[in-house]
Chain A
């Protein structure tokens, strides 16, 4: 039966010769290489659950009165978008679990991308010829964050609406064009009439098209260039060793897919996420504490909280405060991040092809900068929850802010330098192993001589 199928398809597509080579393609199966796959499978969950959600979501800011089963909101005025999410959560069978799986998948998706990106960085997998894929990967990270932000803003609840308000202000703060940009993007003064509708368009259509396109390119390039691998006896720069695609790697990969689905399903049912009914519908005149965005926007929030109240003028006009922490610094950070392969090439002068991966110790400077970068982003994310830290530790939030203002500069430098020194030391240890112990021999004339033993 399989023979008949293969012949039928090959007569029309001529794919047998390609498939023959493809099915035997080597896939290195080190566990750290699967982080990208974890992200990919999270994305599949997002698409599947997302399609379900689109059948129930009403992307309208129009005022309606709620008449559903959730008693504390009965009779309350809210947007049709928010009301539709209440219906989905309380009245649609499996609606709540689908919504929660979708939201957990989004959080884990960006976490997996971040972990994958860190693995690529610290193993130097972005070096020639993979610079293009690094840039595509940076775009995917940004697209994922944007998709997440637009996505969790769709229910138009009090918490996410506050986030949209801040985004509007950040857009407004751009010099010269900010006011126009905000008015055009949002359709007027905040909250604009079509904000939720535009966010939906972005979230399910524009950003998804970009993600699918970039992701396909990303995978095609990996396939074409073949995967990198760690050094090991028997491996060379000109070969790549791994499991054959079919059946070994396929089976493992599909198994991983189900595992990702299983973890997200568990979280989706067992751990509540984004209880919009408690936050209430968005009202631009009220707010609830604590107010944080989803974790992957936390670093931006931290920048906005930590940035001092400096009045920075361009001639006579003051540049609005959110511009520096909200636009300029993030742009610089991501520019450095995106161009890192070229920065490293310029700094080291190493423009040769690399298919072998480094261990962290093999590139002490890169590892140092990497750890400093991760520490910087982690501290900023921490700063984004400074009021929660104040509440937990019983310390005034002003102290947390002041301490983090200094820490955000000092700690990355210290951690980065310590990592650099540690990597250098480890590298030196391997190249010039120190003797394990020294033996002292007493000579006949009474002196001592040393023996070095390993």
Chain B
């Protein structure tokens, strides 16, 4: 009887391997618009009101970045930071930061496009410069070309499957599954800390369109081999080999063999 208990447990361990494990580090992506329906330039940005923008800025940003965006010990100067930068950090909830010592990371954002436009207008009124909100049209890009651009520029930090990785000194290159097409393009053009910036001279419009197409595709890679164990790679595979493989086989030999 005990023998069969062992075999049953062994089968159970295999069944555990069949349960869809939450992909390691992968969060469920937002409902993405189907490929190709996003056509044309960025949605028309509402015209920003400098006065409303100042009010929003004073409440949410000034304590760290200074009333005139001149910067304080807690926040960098924002003059000339660019509409693209502001749009990106506000849209992805990276800003405002509750703790200025913390690195930026994606959080839910309550900012409406109008509010973002207002703050952009206010900061722009203090001085020009910085990356604009980019236009991106993935339908005009090529998936294979995008993979090449991704492999050359992005995979080193974000991982071959866009699953994210540590990049040293506590900094993280986040997983890319939650980013919208516009946010991906903005991050490329803006280079939010710790990411470097890739201007139009390095990654041209066609490169960017293709890159965004590929990153969006990475949200649901085909994974024909089965459960992807988070795309972590050989470390997770070794873990599975020991826990599932040797674990199940140890139970099998305990069932078949004697114990004295």
Contact = CB atoms under 8 A, between A and B. Distances in A.
A388 B24 CA distance: 11
A76 B147 contact: yes
Contacts of B25: 391-392
A92 interface: no
A108 B144 CA distance: 35
Interface stretch (A273-281, A310-318, A327-335): A273-281
Given A158-B160, A270-B227, A31 B258 contact: yes
Interface string A93-133: 00010001000100110011001000000000000000000
A34 to B, nearest CB: 4
Interface stretch (B49-57, B117-125, B186-194, B216-224): B216-224
* Secondary structure dominating the interface of B: helix
Contacts of B237: 107, 271, 273-274, 294-295
A269 B226 contact: yes
B240 interface: yes
A164 interface: no
A232 interface: yes
A441 interface: no
Contact of A270 (B151, B167, B226, B259): B226
Contacts of A411: none
Contacts of A108: 241, 245-246, 249
A390 interface: yes
Contact of B156 (A111, A266, A275, A287): A287
B253 interface: yes
Nearest to A389: B166
Interface string A222-264: 0000000010100000000000000000001001100110011
| Closest 3 pairs (CB-CB, A-B) | A295-B238, A31-B257, A272-B225
Interface of A: 29-35, 38, 71-76, 89-90, 96, 100, 104, 107-108, 111-112, 115, 158-159, 230, 232, 252, 255-256, 259-260, 263-264, 266-267, 269-275, 278-280, 283, 286-290, 292-296, 298, 381, 384-385, 387-388, 390-392, 394-398
11 contacts: A29-B256, A75-B144, A266-B17, A270-B18, A270-B226, A272-B223, A289-B158, A293-B234, A294-B237, A391-B25, A396-B170
